[in-house]
Amino acid sequence: MSAVDFEYNGFKKSGSGYQGASFARISAGQQTREDVSRSAIWARKTAPLGLATIMLGALLHRFGFIPVDEMLSVLGAGALLALAAVGMSLNSFIDIWQLGVRGFFRAAVALVISLITLAPFALVVIGLLYLPKVSGVTTSAEDPPLMLADIAFGRVDQQVLTDQQAAYPAIQTQEFPLPAPQVYDLARGAAERTGLNITFELPPIVATKFIEVEGESVASIPAPRAKPIVLRDGSVMRRTVAKFYTEASAEGVFEASGKTPVLGFIDDVAVRVRATNNGSTVDVRSASRIGDHDLGANARRVQAFLRELDLTVKALSVN
């Protein structure tokens, strides 16, 4: 028989006798403490759902199943779920403190999962506040490398390029005491090692000199003719605008595309190698396809490429 079996004139009867009404309140409180906070239960269910939603949206866009706008909608839904889980976790802590209910562990786990889910959004906000507001970088704002993608996306604003270089003044044209064809090959290898996908290339064309040998004009390599460039993606639009790259010169250029590590946003990269009297120069430009703030992604990509190229040239000179 329990301590609250029946009541008589404000007293409770137990197996050994009558107890006061205060004992009944204590017993009721003990029963309340055995309950679990509903906020904690729902927070523990909602937090993993928010994390899974964000991961699913990022992966679907990363592998090309959904476009950017749909991915942003999915990420927004995941963030809202995470915020709701944070609110429910905090509410469950209040219930635990005031009512003595259980569920602290569930609420704590939900809060940790939600904070992990919201951490990337916090980093993005910090980047928007403290990193330069640019959508790309170039080593030469006065004479930037052109891209076929500039025509496709309506880019190349001289003032914008100047602002980009002012934001990252350490990114400058690189000079190497090597001939342009050799530097071009080294730059192409450095681009592939840094994760860039080369979309098309036009190596530098060095004019062939004809020499008189026993009364005959001899050339080791026939002079190349300018011809249209056929791109790997087979784009008809790009083939029609590729003609401004077909002039024979000692300048080599290749274009590539790079993806951001997590969400897979595609950025366009152009690398230009020019012959000089003392060797050759290398100019790089990386530009985002969407948005007006790259969160420093293009600067990091260009710096990684130039660092890899510099190390490659130094290793070659040592050998």
273: domain CATH number is 3.30.530
Q: What is the mean pLDDT of residues 84-104?
A: 92
CA geometry: angle at 15 spanning 10 and 21, to 5°? Answer: 20
Per-residue pLDDT at 266: 86
Same domain, 141 and 116: no
pTM over 0.85: no
Per-residue pLDDT at 157: 62
- Give a yes or no: residue 28 inside a domain: no
What whole-number percentage of the chain has pLDDT above 90? 39
Per-residue pLDDT at 17: 47
Same domain, 109 and 153: no
State the first-to-last Cα distance of the chain, in angstroms, to the nearest integer: 93
Same domain, 150 and 223: yes
Same domain, 160 and 40: no
How many angstroms separate the CA atoms of 205 and 185, rounded?
A: 13
Q: How many independent structural domains does the chain possess? A: 2
Same domain, 111 and 179: no
- Give a yes or no: residue 21 inside a domain: no
Same domain, 273 and 150: yes
Same domain, 126 and 247: no
Looking at 130, 145, 178, which one is the last position of a domain? 130
Per-residue pLDDT at 319: 60
Q: Residue 149: is it exposed, middle or buried by C-beta count within 10 angstroms (0-12/13-18/19+)?
A: buried
Q: Is the pLDDT of residue 211 over 60?
A: no
Summarised one tens digit per residue, pLDDT across range 183-204 is 999 999 999 999 999 888 888 8
Same domain, 85 and 181: no
Summarised one tens digit per residue, pLDDT across range 273-308 is 998 888 899 999 998 888 888 888 999 999 999 999
Confidence of residue 10 (pLDDT cuts 50, 70, 90): very low
DSSP string, 157-171: -HHHHHHHHHH-TT-
Q: Is the pLDDT of residue 22 over 50?
A: no
- Give a yes or no: residue 296 inside a domain: yes
Same domain, 113 and 254: no
Same domain, 308 and 178: yes
Looking at 130, 155, 175, which one is the last position of a domain? 130
Same domain, 149 and 249: yes
Per-residue pLDDT at 160: 65
> Pick from 244, 250, 198: which is nearest to 224 by CA?
250
- Give a yes or no: residue 295 inside a domain: yes
Summarised one tens digit per residue, pLDDT across range 222-254 is 444 444 444 444 443 443 444 444 444 678 889
Query: Token pair of 238, please?
Result: 């790009």
DSSP state of 107: H
Same domain, 122 and 152: no
CB 46 within 8 Å of CB 88: yes
Q: Domain range for residue 73?
A: 35-130
